[in-house]
Amino acid sequence: MRHVRAQRSEWTFLTNHARVLLAISRDPGIRLRDVALTCGVTERTVQAIIADLEEAGYLTRESRTDDGRRNRYGIVPGSLFRHPAEAGHEIAGLLALLSPQHHDSATQPG
């Protein structure tokens, strides 16, 4: 007989880092405020995650777009997952799977 818990834990398959990366892959010029709303976190959290992703070599940032108001991000092609369980797999596969509208324009030349 299967037991049903009265209260289920709240968990998800993707980390906030993955969600931020997906949001950026969908719109490289997205505002941090919009990333935060999409991902359900604060702007400060998004800033920290973007700093992590840049430091680890997953993202690049152009200081401002032509309108002078937004940063533009690029996902570094060929970036690999960090965990040993996914070693050798590129993050591009995850982005393509979860973001069908993912374009090559979201990546930077190697």
Give the separation between CA 15 and CA 76, rounded to whole angstroms.
Answer: 19
Q: Supply 97's token pair.
A: 């799977």
pLDDT for 109: 42
Q: What is the reported pLDDT for 98? A: 92
Distance CA 99, CA 96 (A): 5
At 105 the pLDDT is 44
- Block mean pLDDT (10 aa), the chain, length 110: 67 94 95 96 98 97 73 94 93 90 48
Name the β-bridge partners of 61: 73
Domain locations in the chain as residue ranges: 16-106
What is the model's pTM? 0.79
DSSP symbol at 73: E
Its CATH class, for the domain covering 16-106, is: mainly alpha
Q: Which long-range contacts link 102-105 to residues 24+ away (Cβ below 8 Å)?
A: 102/25, 102/26, 105/28
Nearest-angstrom CA–CA distance, 56 and 69:
25
Q: Give the pLDDT of residue 8.
A: 73
